[in-house]
Copies of this chain bind each other. A is one copy, B any other.
Amino acid sequence: MIYYSDYLELDKVLSAQHPESDKAGQPAHDEMLFIITHQTFELWFKQVLFEMRSVIALFHRDYVPEADVFLALSRLRRTNRIMEHLAEQFTLIETMTPGDFMEFRAFLNPASGFQSVQWRVLERTLGLREERRVLRAYTDALAEQHRAELDAATAGTTLFDAIERWLGAMPFMESGDFTFWQAYRSAVAAMFEHDRDEVRTLAAAEGHDPSEALAQIDANEAGFDAIFSEPQYTDLQSRGLRRMSRNASLAALFISAYRHEPLLQAPYQVLDAIIELDRLVSLWRYRHTMMVSRMIGMRVGTGGSSGHDYLMQTTVRQRIFDDLTSLSSFLVPSAVVPALPADIARRLQFVNEARG
């Protein structure tokens, strides 16, 4: 016999709110809101971690069955809606004014800032590299036990690793004398050549100098070398501007180019959901930073430094999946995309639809 209240362990959950201002004999009404907001954040972080670990497990295998790509997609989308909801949740804590916060802020000292172990675990689980983190101080502020928990919880595969592995193992990119990236490169070159012809024809007809327009086309084409040229890619990696392996990046480009093939539809949505997740993690940080700056001000000290700017830098720089977001730069209209060899095209269909 399951009973709602027992099932949800409400005796524990609902007895865990003890405002410090009450203990100090100076009850501040708004401290309850502060506590409940953070507790619900933590509960949802637990859910997000639960989903992320299942997604990593689904992708981190030698072979990922197609059914599981779709399953992982559902869980990524759920995670995204949770993250949206959590970003929105700052609206609730913002019904507390800085003046109201001041009434109990001193009682929380020195728990200033945000010492959530789960959030740190989440960042690392997604694949944030510690060295990129501007505010190492956050981790340093954790209790030893929690730092150990953090390390233990994040010793395994990250979402970044799992996705890179899955992409890197993508078949379908070669067949006979077809190699996807070379065919794509040729098509892109032909597109730009066509653009140059048009510019020259127009310039001749109208009698003006085409050199500026041609230079622009050259620059655009050169931009594609960032992914086509292996040395350039390696160089970008060494400078920290690329992180994912070139193979994995090319597989992501392949998926984007042929996203309407039945077997690539879910993978394309997966890439898009991961880009969205990266954005929503950033959005959560952004909202958090804005909330903090409103609550405690952006004290402009004699040195002129600003905590707000510092925090905001963190928000801006800590993207994990830039490699995927930046792929849009290498897309071309579907009319330009080279046709797939018949055998590859066939293997991207369902049995009941495939011909030949």
Contacts and interface: CB of A to CB of B under 8 A. Distances in A.
B346 A13 contact: no
A353 B66 contact: yes
Nearest to A114: B4
A189 to B, nearest CB: 17
The quantity of this chain's copies bound in the complex is: 4
A17 B35 contact: no
A97 interface: yes
Interface in A87-142: 88-89, 91-92, 94-95, 97-99, 102-103, 105-111, 114-118
A157 interface: no
A295 interface: yes
A65 B46 CA distance: 40
Given A33-B78, A97-B268, A13 B10 contact: no
B8 A99 contact: no
A203 interface: no
Contact of A13 (B39, B89, B265): B39
Nearest to A84: B91
B262 A66 contact: yes
A295 B108 CA distance: 43
A285 B302 CA distance: 30
B8 A350 contact: no
A77 B4 CA distance: 30
Contacts of A327: 98, 297
> What 8 A-B pairs have minimum CB-CB distances, sorted nearest first?
A297-B329, A297-B328, A4-B115, A9-B16, A299-B329, A98-B328, A78-B95, A2-B111
